[in-house]
Amino acid sequence: MISYALAALLAMTSAAGASPATPAASTGTALPIGGSTQTVSSLYTGDRVRDPFLAAAMGASSSRRVEDAKAGVPEVVDIHGMTLRGIMKDRKVDYALFTAEGGGTYLLRGGRLYNERNKPVPGITGGIRMKQKTVELIAPDKDVQVFRLGEDEKEKENP
């Protein structure tokens, strides 16, 4: 999309007799294109699209977590209220991406669970089995929750 918009912009400016290396093109100011003035930012609107890795709505629960973290309150995570969103593989380590009921995002990496701020969640460990597409989380009281990739919430309740 970007390359198409830039190619169209350069083609129109060269057709109008303007050099693409003019100072106006490098500073991002408006260039005359076919009688109108458009900029790259007016042609490409991808900067206004929502980041897909952020929560859809920043509710009270997420702001409360941020306030608690600033106050030094330890984070409490219910492993039974989490949903497995994906499993990824790197050269060195496997990753599992979770979302919590309150809207938080967690990452299991190297046997430890990390929160949105990349801080380890105390006491929660886990393991990933890539071939079986399963992930297990272990709470501090040795409670184990097993997640299967692609398993729906209803399937967990009614196996």
Checking phi first, is residue 142 left (phi over 0); if not, alpha (psi -120 to 50) or beta?
left
What average pLDDT score do residues 25-41 get?
A: 61
Contact 126, 145 (CB under 8 A): no
Report the alpha-carbon angle 147-66-83, nearest 5: 10
DSSP state letter for 47:
G
Task: Give the global pTM.
Answer: 0.53
Report the alpha-carbon angle 56-59-64, nearest 5: 135
pLDDT for 79-115, tens place per residue? 999 999 999 998 889 999 999 887 889 999 999 999 9
pLDDT for 36-83, tens place per residue? 677 777 777 776 676 666 666 544 445 555 555 555 656 678 899 999
